[in-house]
Structure 1
């Protein structure tokens, strides 16, 4: 393994979080303001209170707030910790930015409290993040103590007390988490893919891509940067391609027939894990065993069951047009495609040639005769029109937040409806 300096936090050196704090002291030395109160900031609150800090919560949802927006005084707080679920279009976000309050993400906050010498691996991208993170963990855990955190439902800050020198941490990083980083230093940075996404929650496409590229913000000479330059959007977005490890040119010998993880698009995810396994000096057999035994994650081309000769597949994690188009490439025959959800201001026209069954906010954004209010109505129509259909693919092409809490709930509802019908057959 090449010598790599482990990441080490700033041990709560907060001087640079604000422009002014008099040498005589100030009241903000023990206060944090949390913007938003979802899973991530609840973990932040718990951590900070345990460390002896005072915490206030502010949100567009007044029921979550412990302080009114009119009572917020910039000089009283170290900074604002912004939940990844808070959009730049949030009225509270805009107000705090107008006050010129310093904002950081939970990832940045956790890094600043990190006091162990660990190897930090960060994974971002429009698609493939979670599968790549899980594959990396599967491969590296055969030799190292590996933790996963970030955009997979495990706040980074919640694992800090478990870490020891020499451990590895694999972080899944969304564009929202990367918007508000400052000092975060990753030993390994990975960009899996780039394509238009989240255009309902960011200013524009350039802003979204630049947020992703923030993963490289504090990169040092000996750090690794892995990506795929055959992705046109990555190739265009990267101005400096020096010292980039282009995995699109990296060859591995894998027997596809032995993989439980199907689809050519998953080969890129496998390449990342394979490369890191070799880099961190894991035996080839151990790497391949980890990859061959890796089970597909739920809601990603997940087989639900059959109705007669028709196969039902749950791909609820496909929350962008590109993700759905990628999933469609897995099938060599015509499929009955179901899409729908919250409008993310994406271009859905590429889906029209598949004559999809559409529901939710995007139903009027796609030219198709099959338009429905909700998933229940769609499924009723689908089961009435199964003649000659070999595969029903539920691959929504957008987020779930118009009618569901998240993509998991959406996928589970799809599976529940399917199984009710399949049981009747």
Structure 2
């Protein structure tokens, strides 16, 4: 496996273990770099901790002492740790570089790289791009938020591999040299303001994806997104737009009949399996990114006529007595839920709620016009109920969790109804991840049989 050969630092502090911290620590140790690890919650008896200690890492657990920064020349921060963390703030005062592990992936991987970010649709677009490249006979590896840690995957790639990475704003804030040959900007919507504090900070974090690109690189972007349109001129890369609303001579677009790339019709829309207008945006972005990396029309057609989606993103679960159950647990903000609701014409019973990040749900109200009932849960249950009442929904039930929500929704439903888990909130008030939340819902649906 590859090692870091041109890493400019010698004494690294890994702040926060989890998957990304563990992978970064192993890579640095294998590369002969001094590693100190600081984690507030990790168990000293954890085999991972013991293995890293035996490999030569210094371990500091149970707190964040300022002395952990002594003798350090770079901090590699878990993306989820905010910048107002005491140790991160002190590192900034000391002028220490603060990076995330994706920076290490960018150093390791010498072949083409596609970086994909946006408020919504990252996982679907990343998966589609990867699958299209594979079906086109290209070598492709997939990494990032979607599964394996980026630097771990980058250790195994070769120069012929295209590395396709799903990137969060948290990861992008911690880059120095990271430079995708193709960057993809799907959309920007108010999200993660508990972390970024302002929409402008969030926008700037997303814009990091193209900050190191040159005129040799490409930036695939949503020309229909007004927020993106405001700052796209800052990019040095060649601009490749996509649109669901307008005809384009360059880039990817769709009309009522076909999907096009650079004006060439590739596939009829009615042959595409993946549902939802928002997914058409993801498809167009993936087509453009894959085409820029040598994908064939045959590869695109093969994937789009068979790809039904990714787990927890408008995932069809089951049909029980003519009720259609969908799992959209990955919808962790209002935009994602509004797009999920827009995917259905028939009556919907919406299951929603979760972590309270301080926002209300007024923007969701216009999309509740065909929602006949709501089942709400989590910290935002009260706010969700208010939004439902504002939309004129009278059948609203409050429950404790998604398992109870599945049962309650079934009791409220009739033939032909869609029962949709699309929380519009993060899961961390009750569940460790949106995957755990979605899995609990899926299990509860199967029990209804």
TM range (shorter): 0.7 to 0.9
What whole-Å deviation, never above 9, does each CA across 1:266-292 have from its counterpart, x for those lacking one?
112221232234334443223211322
Q: 2:382 is matched with which residue? A: 364
Q: 1:33 is matched with which residue? A: 13
Higher strand share: 2
Shift of 1:73: 5.6
Q: 2:216 is matched with which residue? A: 222
Distance 1:314 1:120, change over 3 A: same
State whether structure 2 residue 436 is matched by structure 1 residue 376. no
Shift of 1:186: 1.4
**How far apart, CA to CA, are the structure 2 residues paired with 1:326 and 1:73?**
45
State whether structure 2 residue 420 is matched by structure 1 residue 393. yes
**How far apart, CA to CA, are the structure 1 residues paired with 2:408 and 2:95?**
52
Q: 1:121 is matched with which residue? A: 114
Query: Does the CA-based 8 Å contact 1:315-1:393 persist in structure 2?
Result: yes
State whether structure 2 residue 253 is matched by structure 1 residue 260. no
Bigger Cα displacement from structure 2, 337-346 vs 208-217: 337-346
Query: Which of 77, 86, 109 in structure 1 is aligned with 2:104?
Result: 109
Q: 1:87 is matched with which residue? A: 82
Shift of 1:259: 2.2
Structure 1 unaligned runs (5+)? 1-8, 18-28
Bigger RCO (CA 8 Å, 6+ sep): 1
Q: 1:270 is matched with which residue? A: 283
What whole-Å deviation, never above 9, does each CA across 1:67-122 have from its counterpart, x for those lacking one?
6633626451230001112123433333433343221110112323x2x5300111
Query: Which of 6, 29, 41 in structure 2 is aligned with 1:49?
Result: 29
Query: Which of 363, 366, 371 in structure 2 is aligned with 1:350?
Result: 363
Q: What secondary structure, in the 3-state scheme, does the structure 1 residue paired with 2:351 have?
A: strand
Shift of 1:410: 0.5
Query: Does the CA-based 8 Å contact 1:197-1:344 persist in structure 2?
Result: no
Structure 2 unaligned runs (5+)? 45-58, 254-259, 389-395
Shift of 1:237: 4.0
Distance 1:344 1:236, change over 3 A: farther
Q: 1:418 is matched with which residue? A: 445
Distance 1:92 1:370, change over 3 A: farther
Q: What secondary structure, in the 3-state scheme, does the structure 2 residue paired with 1:162 have?
A: coil
Query: Does the CA-based 8 Å contact 2:177-2:212 persist in structure 1?
Result: yes
Q: 1:327 is matched with which residue? A: 340
Shift of 1:57: 1.6
Distance 1:76 1:197, change over 3 A: same
- Any residues of structure 2 matched to 1:167-316 within 5 Å, and which? 167-240=161-234, 243-248=238-243, 249=248, 250-251=252-253, 252=260, 253=265, 254-316=267-329
Distance 1:392 1:13, change over 3 A: closer
Shift of 1:358: 1.5
TM-score by length of 2: 0.82
**How far apart, CA to CA, are the structure 2 residues paired with 1:129 and 1:157?**
19
What whole-Å deviation, never above 9, does each CA across 1:161-201 have from its counterpart, x for those lacking one?
32222221111110000001111111111101111111122
Aligned pairs, number? 398
**How far apart, CA to CA, are the structure 2 residues paired with 1:363 and 1:411?**
18
**How far apart, CA to CA, are the structure 1 residues paired with 2:269 and 2:132?**
17
Bigger Cα displacement from structure 2, 222-231 vs 158-167: 158-167
Shift of 1:226: 0.6
Query: Does the CA-based 8 Å contact 1:88-1:203 persist in structure 2?
Result: no
Shift of 1:377: 3.5
Q: 1:406 is matched with which residue? A: 433
What whole-Å deviation, never above 9, does each CA across 1:375-422 have from its counterpart, x for those lacking one?
23333432332246611111011111111111111011001111111x
**How far apart, CA to CA, are the structure 2 residues paired with 1:376 and 1:75?**
48
Query: Which of 6, 11, 19 in structure 2 is aligned with 1:12?
Result: 6
**How far apart, CA to CA, are the structure 2 residues paired with 1:259 and 1:127?**
20
RMSD, matched Cα? 2.3
Q: 1:61 is matched with which residue? A: 41
Query: Does the CA-based 8 Å contact 1:338-1:393 persist in structure 2?
Result: yes
Query: Does the CA-based 8 Å contact 1:79-1:102 persist in structure 2?
Result: yes
TM-score by length of 1: 0.87
Shift of 1:328: 0.7
**How far apart, CA to CA, are the structure 2 residues paired with 1:396 and 1:290?**
28
